Amino acid sequence: MNLIQGTEKYSIAIGTGKWVAIETNRIGPNLFTFAQNQQVGLAPFKIAGSFAWLDANTVEFQLRYIESPHSEIIQIKFDGEKASITFIDSFAREAKKPVYEAKGEF
C-alpha cells in the first residue's frame, strides 16, 4: 500500500490473513499529535499491517504501531468509479471521522 501525506510518500507492506512487520517513517496516532515537533527524530517506527475485505465493496487496512498502544484503521469503500476513504485511529474510534473521496479506475 502507498500512502501520500502532503509531500511525503510511504510504502507500507500489508498482509492478507497475516500480519506483516515492517518499519516506516510515517507518524501514526499518538498522545503528542498536537505538540510541536511531535516524534521528530524517533523514526523509523515498527508497525504490523494486515487487511481484509469486509464485504464486496469495502476493504479495511489495519496498522498496529508496535512500540505504542495505538493503532489505525483505513477503510476504503468502492462505488463504481468512486472510493470513500476513512481513517480511524485508536483514540476516538466512535468519533465522526472525515471521509476523503477519490475518483478514477480502481
| Residue numbers of the domain that contains 87 | 2-103
Q: Quote the number of domains for the chain.
A: 1
How is residue 90 annotated by DSSP?
T
Q: How far apart are CA 76 and CA 54, in angstroms?
A: 10
Residues of the chain with pLDDT under 70: 29-43, 91-98, 104-106
pLDDT in tens, 19-43: 999 898 887 766 555 555 555 656 6
pLDDT at 44: 85
Specify the pLDDT at position 66: 87
Angle at 75 between CA 73 and CA 78, to 5 degrees: 170
CB atoms within 10 A of CB 71: 19
> Quick one: 67 exposed, middle or buried, by C-beta within 10 A (0-12, 13-18, 19+)?
exposed
